[in-house]
Amino acid sequence: MEAAVKNHVPGIDAECGGACACATCHVYVDEAWRSIVGEPAPMEEDMLDYAFGVQPSSRLSCQIRITAEMDGLILKTPDRQG
Ligand code: FES
């Protein structure tokens, strides 16, 4: 989320500043990257209930902890956010 905001990625509003309290940083993780990115924690799953167009690959980008092995990570924003 921070990388998206700093680089003005459309559709990542991050209204709560990364507190897992708004769902305006919703992204879809490319299938090839899902196992590396991991699954949402229960609190994140609860907040995803407030996002539009949730899919199995949905994550809140503010809850993704970036690691070196995620170099090249592919995420997409939901159409409704873009
Ligand atoms: S920035 Fe608000 S939930 Fe991610």
Spell out the domain ranges in the chain: 2-76
Q: Whole-angstrom Cα distance, residue 32 to residue 23? A: 23
For the entire predicted model, the pTM comes to 0.94
14 in ligand 1 pocket by Cβ < 6 Å?
yes
Distances (CA, A) of 20 to 28, 41, 64, 72: 16, 11, 11, 24
Q: In ligand 1, which atom is closest to the CA atom of 24?
A: 2
Q: In ligand 1, which atom is closest to the CA atom of 18?
A: 1
CATH of 2-76, one of 3.40.720.10, 3.10.20.30, 3.10.180.10, 1.20.120.1750: 3.10.20.30
Q: Whose CA is nearest to atom 3 of ligand 1?
A: 20
User: Is residue 18 within 8 Å of residue 11, measured between CB atoms?
Assistant: no
State in Å: Cα 77 to ligand 1 middle. Answer: 13
Q: Whole-angstrom Cα distance, residue 75 to residue 39? A: 14
In tens, the pLDDT along 6-49 reads 999 999 999 999 999 999 999 999 999 999 999 999 999 999 99
Predicted pLDDT of residue 81:
82
In tens, the pLDDT along 47-71 reads 999 999 999 999 999 999 999 999 9
